[in-house]
Chain A
């Protein structure tokens, strides 16, 4: 509840209301998807007390410092802040939103607005009900995206399919290759002497015996980045592959998943939901271009530019799942796939078209991409998934060995 009279929230007699406002604001942020816990609310009240607000800008940045922990959230925060702490309260704001032509009504063009509005609407609807107002609320946002927005229902995958796929994944997880890190851990047959362990052990015998303990580099599975093509030509496979990615993400840390058709979407967070059906629903909600066309080069360019430096560290393995049927295969595609290849430890291309035994890489897109991948494998049924397991657990092919953790 913002102060209706628009008074400065820092006045001492208003402290109680200020805290209440912050709590409501935090709830709205949480509903918009920001990880704001009760601890952060206490911090916010404390920060406001310390900073002694004198202007709206200071008030904004103080809350920002405490409540935002990711750069991507800044935009959502700004919009939530502007709507929530408007002078006249957000009831008017809500009503003005209902009338698209009203002056000052923000349109639905900005990517974060929908989330913020949903978060605030939910709260408002309850309040309106409580106040027994007879207002017919039609809080439906119009999608202005010009793209073909086709939502696909994933729910029809049969239980057998899921079980079989999951079983295949489980086998895969057990044998995935491990890379050495630069950290050392105690090991029976290590090559470095563990002085600390040695000393502690020898003190147990009063220093009479010196039994050398050893250290060896710790190993761990490298990060996995999946780039999944969801264009129309991949139609029948996308659902299975999404289940595959969900199962992988559930059993391993450091898995990032991206979907691309005409544009690139990061669905890592959506796939982290425990229940596969919920996760897949979240995915299809987050992706606007299901079963549309393919534009591999721009999607890879977007990945290389925006995400590669953030997710390809620590020697990542990239799974590129696409049929490679690209209409505009040109130098740009060659350039982007080459850059992707050079920034990861291993690039594996999984292509469902390989199910045909007489498959020949004739399509231009495929011929452009082929020289730049470390491995080219079929993935269209469970047996090919099992083959993928073997491929991922095998040592690196000659000429592609890298020191652990070499930055991308």
Chain B
């Protein structure tokens, strides 16, 4: 079992090992969450690497990753547990065939662990030789409000109560990571049980290192230009600013096209990788992209 990081610096190092370049505030929250056994609640724009954090934690700590993707209509049967009805029916019929059915005993037998199908939340409570698993509850804002209530017990006490059977409690609490894109507000009762962190866009220096780590073989000038261009785009009045994921996609795309530096024609042709709304693209096409590139060049020259 890989030991937990002993300090905030250790946590930073751990994330870096999996090529996730975090800032100190995020490392602090992760460290606290691991040491205090508290769930982490990550909010932020789409494509800033919220889900990635859970994957990196699972990889670097050598834990199993259990992912629960939320969607509207998600219920106990697909998130926590379900009974194996077919097997239960057969068990009842067999008991009848043997004769002398004792109702209480039959109910006890039929609702036992043998007939239980575990779903992600219950799986996360099961003991694991590699240490407690990482439980990723992804895009919680997509689930109905009613579903949040099921989570409260799991998050606060790391246990699940099954009415027919009793309470299942985790021997060691799993590492819980919850993400939300903020398409609605999550209830305060749930947030209160977690450590909150807003994942922001990285600054220029960090984003350049991210691009160079994730897109090996990218030209040095190109990566600096790409990042400065994207950072400038985030300051423009756009409906949806590009996230880190888009920056990486764009960097990959431009490398595939064998570009060594930004030029207006290539930028116009590949804008669809960065911006996903037609009116945002229309705003950038033409002279605006050229002007931004000029500004990027000027900035780079000034920085030298």
A residues at B contact (CB < 8 Å)? 35, 37, 39-40, 43, 46-47, 50-52, 57-58, 61-62, 64-66, 68-71, 74, 181-184, 195-196, 199-200, 202-204, 206-208, 218, 304-305, 309-311, 313-314, 335, 404-405, 407-408
A46 vs B36: C-alpha distance when bound (angstroms): 8
Partner of A183 from the list B92, B107, B146, B188 (CB cut-off 8 Å) is B146
Evaluate contact between A69 and B192: CB separation under 8 angstroms. Answer: yes
**Which 7 residue pairs across A and B have the least CB separation, nearest first?**
A182-B73, A207-B92, A61-B28, A195-B85, A69-B191, A71-B198, A61-B25
Evaluate contact between A310 and B29: CB separation under 8 angstroms. Answer: no
- What residues on A are CB-neighbors of B239 within 8 Å? 304-305
- What residues on B are CB-neighbors of A404 within 8 Å? 72
B147 to A, closest residue via Cβ: A183
A304 vs B146: C-alpha distance when bound (angstroms): 27
Partner of A37 from the list B41, B192, B197 (CB cut-off 8 Å) is B192
Evaluate contact between A310 and B182: CB separation under 8 angstroms. Answer: yes
A54 vs B115: C-alpha distance when bound (angstroms): 52
Evaluate contact between A407 and B103: CB separation under 8 angstroms. Answer: no
Interface string of B75-104 (1 = CB under 8 A from A): 101000011010011001101100001010
A66 vs B29: C-alpha distance when bound (angstroms): 9
Minimum CB–CB distance from A68 to chain B (whole Å) comes to 6
Evaluate contact between A68 and B106: CB separation under 8 angstroms. Answer: no
Partner of B107 from the list A50, A181, A203, A218 (CB cut-off 8 Å) is A203
Evaluate contact between A182 and B72: CB separation under 8 angstroms. Answer: yes
Evaluate contact between A69 and B188: CB separation under 8 angstroms. Answer: yes
- What residues on B are CB-neighbors of A65 within 8 Å? 28-29, 32, 195-197
Listed by A's residue number, 15 A-B pairs whose Cβ atoms lie within 8 Å are: A47-B32, A50-B32, A51-B31, A51-B32, A61-B25, A65-B196, A69-B41, A71-B182, A181-B144, A183-B144, A203-B106, A203-B107, A310-B183, A313-B183, A404-B72
Evaluate contact between A181 and B73: CB separation under 8 angstroms. Answer: yes
A195 vs B41: C-alpha distance when bound (angstroms): 35
A305 vs B141: C-alpha distance when bound (angstroms): 18
B8 adjacent to chain A (CB < 8 Å): yes
- What residues on B are CB-neighbors of A184 within 8 Å? 73, 75
Minimum CB–CB distance from B139 to chain A (whole Å) comes to 11
Known: A199-B88, A310-B184. 10 other contacts (CB 8 A): A51-B28, A61-B29, A65-B29, A207-B101, A207-B106, A218-B146, A313-B184, A314-B72, A405-B72, A408-B183
A57 vs B75: C-alpha distance when bound (angstroms): 41
Q: Which of B11-42 contact A (CB under 8 A)?
A: 24-25, 28-29, 31-32, 35-36, 41
- Max chain A C-beta neighbours (<10 A), residue from B93, B164, B198: B198
B304 adjacent to chain A (CB < 8 Å): no
- What residues on A are CB-neighbors of B29 within 8 Å? 61, 65
B110 adjacent to chain A (CB < 8 Å): yes
Q: Which of B112-127 contact A (CB under 8 A)?
A: none
Evaluate contact between B183 and A74: CB separation under 8 angstroms. Answer: no
A196 vs B164: C-alpha distance when bound (angstroms): 11
Partner of B92 from the list A68, A203, A305 (CB cut-off 8 Å) is A203
B258 adjacent to chain A (CB < 8 Å): no
B185 adjacent to chain A (CB < 8 Å): yes
- What residues on B are CB-neighbors of A311 within 8 Å? 184
Q: Which of B36-76 contact A (CB under 8 A)?
A: 36, 41, 43, 72-73, 75
Evaluate contact between B73 and A183: CB separation under 8 angstroms. Answer: yes
- What residues on A are CB-neighbors of B75 within 8 Å? 183-184
- What residues on A are CB-neighbors of B270 within 8 Å? none
B182 to A, closest residue via Cβ: A310
Minimum CB–CB distance from B11 to chain A (whole Å) comes to 11
Evaluate contact between A61 and B192: CB separation under 8 angstroms. Answer: no
A71 vs B45: C-alpha distance when bound (angstroms): 11
Interface string of B237-263 (1 = CB under 8 A from A): 001000000000000000000000000
Evaluate contact between B72 and A35: CB separation under 8 angstroms. Answer: no
A200 vs B85: C-alpha distance when bound (angstroms): 11
Evaluate contact between B183 and A206: CB separation under 8 angstroms. Answer: no
- What residues on B are CB-neighbors of A61 within 8 Å? 24-25, 28-29
Evaluate contact between B85 and A199: CB separation under 8 angstroms. Answer: yes
Interface string of B183-212 (1 = CB under 8 A from A): 111001001100111100000000000000
- What residues on A are CB-neighbors of B213 within 8 Å? none
Q: Which of B144-164 contact A (CB under 8 A)?
A: 144, 146, 164
- What residues on B are CB-neighbors of A39 within 8 Å? 192
- What residues on A are CB-neighbors of B287 within 8 Å? none
A71 vs B200: C-alpha distance when bound (angstroms): 10
B46 to A, closest residue via Cβ: A309
A57 vs B9: C-alpha distance when bound (angstroms): 13
Q: Are A310 and B185 also in contact (CB < 8 A) when A50-B36, A65-B196, A305-B239 are?
A: yes
A51 vs B182: C-alpha distance when bound (angstroms): 29
